[in-house]
Each structure stands twice: as structure tokens, then as C-alpha cells.
Chains A and B, each alone.
Chain A
């Protein structure tokens, strides 16, 4: 635990508080700025992932063609699709690393929000032991926990939950490829709802600051995806076999 605090927990906490001071004492803006910094830091990994997503979107006509052709022979379909992915240099499990990188940041951010806002005297005293001797950091204490309508240290409300769930749904929908298999379609529909629903519920249980991070991260993801893959992807999908054509390259 000490190593965790030394390497990740305390640096995230201090950077968050320093950002708050730099941004005029707004803890909410500090969370947004930190989210952007995290996204920039993980950009090389995300870029690889976006490339992969883009390639998958471009492969959709071929995939659907294979599904039509070998729909009744699953083994053959597997072989052909694997061959297709290999030829395109796409790794369907390639998103593992960016995800692994972000998870410790989620935990550190959750801890940083709770520690920085110091809702009890014990927390305030504990905070003193974690702060670096930077004037910027110490002058920012105690932080103002209010941002827009949110109390960042308190549990998120229904509005935040809807924003988190909604933005996540949009982002997922942009990347969800169509399928002709009825079983996969139903699975796909459930999956599309499951994660937004789950994160929406989590936003009601966790500090609003963490919900803010999720919402901002989703929005950045949507914007990045829009510009990088050249459009809304599968968001405007009318039929499983007619994905919205991507704009540009």
C-alpha cells in the first residue's frame, strides 16, 4: 500500500490539487484537466486502438460478406474471419493495454478525490501527510468541492448518472459493428445497454468527482473517435447490413 501511494496515489493527489490551484481553485476543472492529461498520456495506446477500430469499420463489408457466405458453417466462418483479421493486421484483443493503464488511474483518482476533499477531520490530518511541500499544493487547501450543480465529494445524482450512461452508450454505439446473426444481435443489444447502465448506477454510488471523470473521459473518447475514424461510425446505423459510411479516410 505504501508503494502504491508513493508511486501513484500521492502523485495523482498532488497533481490534482496543484491543478485546482492553477485553475482558480476549481476542483471540477482540475478533474477535467487531469482527465485530459490522462488521455494525452495514454494517447499512443489509444491511437493504436483507434486504428484498430477504424480498420474494423472498414472491414465490415467483407465481414458481412463472410457472414452471409459461411453463416451456416461456423467453423469455416471463424477460419475465414481470422484470416481476414490477420491480413488486415487487426488484433481484436488489442485494447487490453490501454485499459490496464487506465484502471490504476481510476483507483488513484477515486482515492485522490476522497482524500483531497477531506470530509472528516481525520481525512484532513491524513491529507497533510500526503501533500508535497509545494506552495501551490498547500495554498489550494482546503478545496472547494462544488462544481456546477455537483458536490464532487458526495455521491453523484441522477443527472450525472444519465450523462455518464448516455455518453458511454454513444461511444459504444459508435464502435459497435453490425451483425447478421440473430443471437449475436441480441447479445450485442444487451451489451450496448449493460455497460452504460452499470456505469450510470456506479455514478450514483461513487463520488460525483469520479462520475465527472467518467463523463469527461467518454466525451473526449467520442470526440477523438469522431475525428480519428472520420464520423459517427455505427451510431446512425439503420440496418445491421447498412452501416453509415465513414467520412473521409
Chain B
């Protein structure tokens, strides 16, 4: 900042020296910003009017102001756009879209069975502007289908229960006779109430983590609040990871490095919790009394429930290249974990020893999916890798199939009957035949055929 004041002082000296430059020549600030300020000497002429006579001063002025303009123009942040995945149920694909809709599409005909638009939200404009702008509500969690209901959480802090029949009739939402409801998460003195993680649907209740730092249990039928937990992460508040159920306990990982155990019926914190120096980035996975969870410190942790010490952390020799963002899956004593460094690891669940790895070309953001003996991963560049888990690999696995869908993928995907359903970041749905190793279909959600 000193240089700015010095610049100003020196322009003044330069002015005295040459009597050519006055402040108004600097064009600082631009017209309009202080247009109301007028010269104390010449009232009829805007004081900041351009009266340039000195090129050097102009250069200085441009150089000084340019960065401020650049700063306001260069996008350092990405707005919340959402990456809701796709799920298939009874031949219908359910997905959240970039324009804030939940859609149901017939997988055979591509017909749009129904669509529900969430309410757009107001967001501050970026850069120098102080105004508000209306943007579609982002959806990150994949829709959950349970009987005739579709449940979804939104970035605007709502949980929606949509009835398939009521939506297909395009009835006004919520249709209570069809059991539809919406629930608004309180902000609760936090900066946001956004729901980022996927919903966990239990027997009678829905469990949801919020950006206000609490976990909520909602009645599945009416959307009534059963309980709310205490704020689990006072520092960051963001609970962007999904909880997981084991028996009568709900396990939640937090960005401040805790795994908490909550009573399923009451939401009360149970005696046991695990604390790590680094925060946990992925949702936890429970397998045989062990919790597997990725951390910001570039390790995957295996924690024994009830113990305060991790049983192992992976990799054992040196940390991974990036975070274990996606939740791992565990099958028959083997943990399959994708990493943002592009590698897929198969790890012995009991010991943490690496069985094999596969070096992909792009970060792995989505969790792997197991379909019979086939392990499927998709990296961020949209390449699908299929592995036969029964194959004896050496240090490095070789994929059975490699298929590129040609679009970036961040969302979760689902597999059914040799087909996988993917929502790409280009807001398109792709259907890939794993057996044949080719894309069956791919179409933009905006082109879905209306009935």
C-alpha cells in the first residue's frame, strides 16, 4: 500500500515539475464511481474527467488500476453447481441436474417421467459488484429412492420428499395425501445450512448432515424432526460427509478430525469417539467393527470402533499424492480406495497392506462400485475402468475394460444389469454397457424428451 501513496505523492511532485498532470488525468477512479465529485474550481466539468496530457501518468494510472479490475474479473472461486449422481429404480433414472431440478427419466425410452424444479436462491454477485443474483439451487447428493418416494437434499438447506405419482401428475408440491413434504434446515448461527452430503435413509427416519454442523433425524413419513445432534464441528461447521449406520449407532466423520458415534434413536453423543490430528474428508465406511475413512493428511485410516488408536493408516511408507476424497468400499476383507492422485488401491482390511494398485490418469472423485465380481471406478476425466476382483494381480492391476465417456465425472454412479448410469459434469446422462465395454447411450438432460 505504501507504493500507492508514494505513487500519488510522486505524481504530485511530477505535477509541480511539469505542470502537466493533475489527478483527474489519472482516470482514477473510473467514470461513474465518483462521478458526483466535481472540481472545486470548475463546477461544470466533472472533476474526474479525462484531461490527459502526460502519457507517463496515464501509464501509471492504468498500471495502478488494472490489477483491481483484474482481481474482480479473474475467477478464483467456482460457484456451487452441484454434482448429484444418478440412481436407477424400476427402469427409471433419477438424477439431480445443474439447473436445480430433480428428474425421473425412463431408461428405455428416455422420456421424462417427471421433473421437479427447486426454488432458485439469491447469491452475492462476485467481484466489485455488491448486488445479489439469482442462481439455481445446487444439488450434490444423489437422490435416494425408497418405495414410492424420492428423497433429496439441496444446497439451499432443504430436504425434499417427492412422491413419484404426484410428480408424474405434476401436482403442486407438496401433495400431502401422497406423503410429500419438505423440511428447511435452520442456519443456526452458522454461515450456511447447505446440505452437501447424500441423505442416509433408515428404517423409519432420514439422517442428514448440514453445513451448520449438526446431524438431523427426520421422520420418513412426515418430515418431522426427530432429533438434532449438538454441533459436532464448531470450527468449520461443514458436515459435508454422509453418516453411516451400524446397529443402533450412527457414525459421523468431521473436518476437524473426529469420528463421532451418535445414538440412532436420540442423537446423543455416545461415549466413544475417535480423534485425529488431521480432518476427515471422506464419509466413513463401516465393515466388521472397523471404520475406514479418508483424511486430509493424505492417509486412509482404519479405526477400530471403541479404540482411540487407529489400527493402521495407508499408505504405510509415505503419504499418498492427494486426499482420499471418495469413500472406499470393502468387500471380502479387501478395501478398495480411490485417491485424488488418480490411483486405485486394494488394501488388506485387517493389516493395511497394499495388495495392488492401479495408476489412473485423473483424480478419482467418485466411490468405486462393485457389481458381482467386477469392480468399477470412474476417474474425473470420465474414463471408466473395470477390474475383475478375482484376478490375481501383481503390484499393479490391469483393467479388464477401459471406456471413456468423454465428459468429466464427479458424482456417484450406479450399476444394474451390466449397465452403469453416470451423470457427467456436462449435465448429461451416460449409460455404459460393462460387458461389451461401450457406451450404450449418452444424452444431455436438457434434451430429455417430454411426454
The interface of chain A, by Cβ under 8 A from chain B, is 46, 49, 52-53, 56, 63, 67, 74, 77-78, 81-82, 85, 92-96, 98-100, 102-104, 106-107, 110-111, 114-115, 119-126, 128-129, 131, 133, 135, 138-139, 141-142, 144, 151, 154-155, 167-168, 171-172, 174-177, 179, 181, 183-184, 186-188, 190-192, 194-195, 197-199, 202, 204-206, 214, 217-218, 220-221, 224-225
Nearest B residue to A189, CB-CB: B40
Task: Determine if B78 and A221 form an interchain contact, defined as CB atoms under 8 angstroms apart.
Answer: no
Task: Determine if B255 and A218 form an interchain contact, defined as CB atoms under 8 angstroms apart.
Answer: no
Task: Determine if B60 and A93 form an interchain contact, defined as CB atoms under 8 angstroms apart.
Answer: yes
A175 to B71, CA, bound (A): 27
Residue among B7, B28, B277, B363 having the largest count of chain A Cβ atoms under 10 Å:
B7
**Other-chain contact of A121, B6, B76, B196, B255 (Cβ < 8 Å):** B196
Task: Determine if B5 and A142 form an interchain contact, defined as CB atoms under 8 angstroms apart.
Answer: no
A175 to B29, CA, bound (A): 21
Task: Determine if B128 and A120 form an interchain contact, defined as CB atoms under 8 angstroms apart.
Answer: no
Residue among B2, B5, B76, B78 having the largest count of chain A Cβ atoms under 10 Å:
B2
Task: Determine if A102 and B76 form an interchain contact, defined as CB atoms under 8 angstroms apart.
Answer: no
A78 to B74, CA, bound (A): 42
Seed contacts A93-B10, A99-B4, A195-B5; 19 additional CB < 8 Å A-B pairs:
A92-B10, A94-B10, A95-B3, A107-B71, A123-B78, A125-B365, A128-B325, A133-B298, A135-B319, A138-B319, A142-B255, A171-B5, A172-B5, A176-B9, A188-B12, A191-B11, A195-B28, A205-B72, A221-B2
A197 to B36, CA, bound (A): 14
A29: min CB distance to chain B, Å: 15
A225: min CB distance to chain B, Å: 7
Task: Determine if B5 and A100 form an interchain contact, defined as CB atoms under 8 angstroms apart.
Answer: no
B23 in the interface (beta carbon within 8 A): yes
With A77-B19, A78-B18, A92-B17 already in contact, the answer to whether A141 and B28 are too (CB < 8 A) is no
**Other-chain contact of A85, B15, B17, B19 (Cβ < 8 Å):** B17
**Other-chain contact of B1, A77, A188, A217 (Cβ < 8 Å):** A217
Q: Which of B166-174, B200-208, B232-240 contacts A (4 or more CB under 8 A)?
A: B232-240
Which B residues touch A63, using CB under 8 A? 16
Task: Determine if B2 and A224 form an interchain contact, defined as CB atoms under 8 angstroms apart.
Answer: yes
Going nearest first, the 5 A-B pairs with the smallest beta carbon separation are A221-B2, A111-B76, A172-B5, A114-B76, A122-B78
Task: Determine if A122 and B365 form an interchain contact, defined as CB atoms under 8 angstroms apart.
Answer: no
Which A residues touch B394, using CB under 8 A? none
18 A-B residue pairings within 8 Å (CB atoms):
A85-B13, A94-B10, A107-B71, A126-B78, A128-B363, A138-B278, A139-B297, A155-B124, A168-B1, A177-B9, A183-B22, A183-B41, A186-B39, A191-B8, A191-B23, A192-B8, A195-B4, A206-B71
Nearest B residue to A233, CB-CB: B9
Q: Mark B71-106, 1 if CB is under 8 A from A, else 0.
A: 110101111110100000000000000000000000
Task: Determine if B322 and A128 form an interchain contact, defined as CB atoms under 8 angstroms apart.
Answer: yes
Task: Determine if B296 and A141 form an interchain contact, defined as CB atoms under 8 angstroms apart.
Answer: yes
Which B residues touch A139, using CB under 8 A? 277-278, 296-297
Task: Determine if A102 and B78 form an interchain contact, defined as CB atoms under 8 angstroms apart.
Answer: no
A83: min CB distance to chain B, Å: 10
With A128-B323, A184-B15 already in contact, the answer to whether A198 and B29 are too (CB < 8 A) is yes
Residue among A53, A138, A175 having the largest count of chain B Cβ atoms under 10 Å:
A138
B254: min CB distance to chain A, Å: 10
B237: min CB distance to chain A, Å: 10
B53 in the interface (beta carbon within 8 A): no
The interface of chain B, by Cβ under 8 A from chain A, is 1-19, 22-24, 28-29, 33-34, 37, 39-41, 47, 56, 60, 63-64, 66-68, 70-72, 74, 76-81, 83, 124, 127-130, 138, 140, 191, 196, 235-236, 238, 240, 255, 277-279, 296-298, 319, 321-323, 325, 340, 363, 365, 410
A174 to B9, CA, bound (A): 10
A192 to B12, CA, bound (A): 11
Which B residues touch A115, using CB under 8 A? 76-77
Which B residues touch A125, using CB under 8 A? 325, 340, 365, 410
A interface secondary structure, majority: helix
Which A residues touch B70, using CB under 8 A? 107
B33: min CB distance to chain A, Å: 8
Task: Determine if B78 and A120 form an interchain contact, defined as CB atoms under 8 angstroms apart.
Answer: yes
A25 to B1, CA, bound (A): 26
A114 to B74, CA, bound (A): 11
Nearest A residue to B6, CB-CB: A95
A154 to B40, CA, bound (A): 37
Nearest B residue to A25, CB-CB: B235
Task: Determine if A205 and B130 form an interchain contact, defined as CB atoms under 8 angstroms apart.
Answer: yes
Which A residues touch B23, using CB under 8 A? 187, 190-191, 194
Task: Determine if B74 and A121 form an interchain contact, defined as CB atoms under 8 angstroms apart.
Answer: no
Which B residues touch A82, using CB under 8 A? 17-18
A124 to B28, CA, bound (A): 36
Which A residues touch B196, using CB under 8 A? 121
A199 to B340, CA, bound (A): 39
Which B residues touch A81, using CB under 8 A? 16-17
Which B residues touch A53, using CB under 8 A? 6, 9
With A85-B17, A93-B14, A96-B63 already in contact, the answer to whether A141 and B9 are too (CB < 8 A) is no
B103: min CB distance to chain A, Å: 21
**Other-chain contact of A99, B56, B63, B124, B140 (Cβ < 8 Å):** B63
Task: Determine if B8 and A120 form an interchain contact, defined as CB atoms under 8 angstroms apart.
Answer: no
With A128-B340, A194-B23, A202-B68 already in contact, the answer to whether A103 and B2 are too (CB < 8 A) is no
